[in-house]
Each structure stands twice: as C-alpha cells, then as structure tokens.
Amino acid sequence: MQKFFARNTVAGWLMVSPLAVILLFFLVMPIVMIVIVSFWQATEFSIIPAFSLENYEFLFGSSVTYRVFLNTFKYALITWAVTLVIGFTVAYYLAFHIRSLTWQIALFLLCTIPFWTSNIIRMISWIPFLGRNGIANSTLISWGVIDEPLEWLLFSDFAVILAFVHLYTLFMVVPIFNTMVRIDKSLIEAARDAGASGAQILWNVIIPLTKPGIMIGTIFVVTLVMGDFITVRFMSGSQSANVGRLISNDIALLQYPSAAATAVVLLVTVLIVIGILLRFVDIRKEL
C-alpha cells in the first residue's frame, strides 16, 4: 500500500481526476454527442438516429458553405489585424510609458469600463450612431465633408468589423500587457546602451518577448470572432453570414443534425488554426 501511494504517478492521477471528470462530463461528452448527432438525419419534427453522411454531403456540396467559411476567415483575419495593432499599442503605452503602478492599474481598469455592460448593448449602441440619419452622418454632413449620407457605415462588413474590434480588443490588450510588464527593463537599457534605436528595440527585443502574449490574444480573438453570430446578424442587418449564423439558423429551424455537422466542421477548423498558431510559440512556458 505504502509503495502504491509512494509512486508519484498514482498520486498525480488522483490529483487531476476531479478536473478530468469535470472536463469529461462538460466538455468531452457534449462534443462527442455533437459529433454523433451530426451523422443523424432529421425531419421537421423528429431526429432519426440512423447513420448518414447526408449532412456532410450537403455541407461540402454547397458553394454557400465555402463562401460562408471564407467570409468567416475574412472577418477573423481583419479583426485580428486591427485588434493586434490597437491592442499592442495600448499595452505598450501602459507597460512602458506609464511609470507608476497605480496609474497603470487605473488606466487598465479604464480599458475594462465598456465591459461593464453586456455585449449586445455595446454592439447595438453603434446602430443609431452609424445609421443613415445617425450621429456620424449628420456630423460629417454638417462639417461639409460629405453631401449625401454614407450608406456603407451601417449594415455592412465595415459595421461588423467595427463592432468586432470594439468588442474584442481588450482580449488582445490583456495578454500582451501581461507579458510586457514581465519584460526585464534592464534588457531594454542594455539594448539602448548597445546603440539600438527605438525601432530596433521594438523589433528585436520587445516584439519577440511579447510573442506569447500576442499568441494568446490571437487565439482569444480568432476563436471569439469565428464563433460569434449575433454581432454579424445585427451589424450586417442580417445581410451577411458567417459559420455561426449558419448554425444558429439551422437550430432555429430544428435542423439539429445539420447544425451539429456545421459545428463539427467549424470546431475542426478552429482547432487547426490554433494548432498552427501554437507552432509559433510555446505557450506552456509562459503559463
């Protein structure tokens, strides 16, 4: 008995088992269910538990699927690029330009203020702002910048990406800021002493050291954007679709197996994207 417990591996297994059980029940099992259901058939009012590839055949056979996936990637890529630039700049400012810790914390909290209201409220508040007779258009007209209201401000890809950036930039700021404050300031001094310019320090010292933060932020933003459907629906006026909307439409129409199949494809896609991202950086080292 003594020998049994003395073995590290057993104690280790026992220690992880509560978490393992929780993950098994609330993560693995639902995913397995989704995969199983994705092979079933459905009519309007019933689900037929018989193996069938029909859902996948339809999914891969439709040009809409590819267009929608492309659209999803487009949203993810543009949002990622914009949030990265903004997030990095904000984090850089907080980490290197604000000297006192109190101010760092105060300004950091300032960034989180928009998050005190719900996602949907923050998003919907853009609609009267960007509308045909909204604040943005009337201001621009009164300044004489434009004569006619800009139609593309609202219910367009522009509006969707704007809302995404607004909603998800903080997810970029936090991890980047977190890694930046851990950078040893003496490294920067050493670089400066060695004659490096500001740009060289940024490129050769700071960016490589914040890469894990960037990567974590990227994973947050990419997965959030790829799974979001409500933002796309509201901000495009239901005129564009991403994969999330495809799934939500299916569910609304009781097509659970078809929704499950789309979800499986989306899950696999996201996992591949994350797999590729993780090749660039060893996150474990950072946690």
Partner 1 sequence: MENSKITRRGLLKSGAAAVTAVGATTIGAPTIWAQNIKDITLRQFGTGVSNLNDVADKVKEDLGFTLEMTALDSDSVTQRAATQPNSFDIADIEYWICKKVWPTGNLQAMDTSRIANYDKIVGIFRDGKLTPESEIAQGTAPHTVGFVDGPDGKEFVQEQSGWMTLIPTIYNADTLGIRPDLIGRPISNWSELLNPEFKGKASILDISSIGIMDMAMVVESMGEYTYPDKGNMTREEIDMTIGIFTEAKQNGQFRAFWKSFDESVNLMASGEVVIQSMWSPAITAVKSKGIPCVYQPLEEGYRSWGGGIGLSKSLSGLELDAAYEYINWYLSGWVGGYLMRQGYYSAVPETSKDFMTENEWGYWFEGKEATDVITSPTGDKLAEAGETRDGGAFEERMGRVACWNAVMDENQYMVRKWNEFIAS
Q: Copy the structure tokens of residue 128.
A: 């009267």
Q: What is the 3-state secondary structure (H, E, C) of 77-95?
A: HHHHHHHHHHHHHHHHHHH
Q: How far is the CB of 37 from partner 1 (least distance, A)?
A: 13
246-265 positions binding partner 1, by CB under 8 A:
246, 249-255
Q: In whole angstroms, how close is the CB of 282 to partner 1 at the nearest point? A: 38
Total residues in contact with partner 1, by rule CB under 8 A: 35
Q: Name which of residues 102 to 161 contact partner 1 (CB under 8 A).
A: 127-128, 131-134, 151, 154-155
Minimum CB separation from partner 1 for residue 250, in Å? Answer: 8
Scanning residues 49 to 68, which ones bind partner 1 (CB under 8 A)? 58, 62, 64, 67-68
Choose the binding region for partner 1 from 11-19, 204-212, 214-222, 234-242 (rule: CB under 8 A). Answer: 234-242
3-state secondary structure 151-164: HHHCCCHHHHHHHH
Q: How far is the CB of 26 from partner 1 (least distance, A)?
A: 21
CA distance 213 to 218: 8
Helical ranges in 113-156 per DSSP H: 119-124, 126-130, 135-143
Q: Which of 45, 51, 116, 143 binds partner 1 (CB under 8 A)?
A: 45
Q: Residue 125 in contact with residue 132, Cβ under 8 Å?
A: no
Indicate the residue among 214 and 246 with the shorter CB distance to partner 1.
246
Contact predicate 83/169, CB 8 Å: yes
Shortest reach from residue 25's CB to partner 1, in Å: 22
Judge whether 283 and 271 are in contact, CB under 8 Å: no
* Least distance (Å) between residue 72 CB and partner 1: 11
The least distance separating partner 1 from the CB of residue 253, rounded to whole angstroms, comes to: 5
Quote the CA–CA distance of 250 and 256 in Å, as a whole number. 7
Q: For residue 47, what is the enclosing H or E element?
A: strand 47-48
57 Cβ neighbours under 8 A, 6+ residues apart? none
The nearer residue to partner 1, 71 or 210, going by C-beta atoms, is: 71
Choices 167-175, 190-198, 242-250, 276-284; region in contact with partner 1 by CB under 8 A? 242-250
| Contact residue for partner 1 among 108, 226, 240, 261 (CB under 8 A) | 240
What's the min distance (Å) between Cβ of 36 and partner 1? Answer: 18
Identify which of residues 58 and 115 has a Cβ nearer to partner 1 in the complex. 58
Q: Is 276 in the site for partner 1 (CB under 8 A)?
A: no
Q: Which tokens hold the place of 273?
A: 């994207």
Using the rule CB under 8 A, is 245 a contact of partner 1? yes
Supply the Cα-derived Rg of the chain in whole angstroms. Answer: 24
- Residues 125-164, buried b or exposed e (16+ Cβ, 10 A)? ebbeebbeebebbeeeeeeeeeeebbeebbbbbbbbbbbb
Q: Can you give the binding site for partner 1, defined by CB under 8 A? A: 43-46, 58, 62, 64, 67-68, 71, 127-128, 131-134, 151, 154-155, 233, 236-241, 245-246, 249-255
